[in-house]
């Protein structure tokens, strides 16, 4: 029983990570197409919450900052 629950939790976690990565790519693509759009407009267009879009934008900005600083290059 515990083993099955752990496998299910692992599956769900992996699924959530993949969904998050897809949504981050969607947010980035939307912002590329609409550079003056707001996060609220992005959320509405993509069917995501404003909080989720805000989280993705912060992560995208951090990735850019690290890339520009030469971290991980």
**What number of CA atoms fall less than 13 Å from residue 57's CA on the CB side?**
17
CA 15, 65, 36, 57 torsion-angle sign? positive
Q: How far apart are CA 10 and CA 15, in angstroms?
A: 9
Which of 20, 21, 53 lies closest to 37, judged by CA? 53
Structure tokens at 54: 């805000």
Q: So what's the pLDDT on residue 8?
A: 65
Which of 29, 10, 28 lies closest to 18, judged by CA? 10
> pLDDT: is 7 or 41 the higher one?
41
Residue 65 pLDDT exceeds 70 = yes
Q: So what's the pLDDT on residue 12?
A: 65
Q: Write out pLDDT tens, residues 15-60.
A: 788 888 999 999 999 999 999 999 999 999 999 999 999 999 999 9
């Amino acid at each position: 029983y515990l083993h099955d629950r752990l496998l299910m939790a692992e599956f769900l976690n992996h699924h959530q990570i993949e969904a998050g990565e897809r949504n981050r790519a969607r947010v980035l693509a939307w912002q590329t197409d609409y550079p003056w759009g707001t996060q609220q407009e992005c959320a509405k267009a993509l069917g995501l919450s404003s909080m989720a879009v805000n989280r993705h934008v912060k992560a995208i900005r951090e990735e850019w900052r690290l890339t520009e600083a030469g971290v991980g290059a």
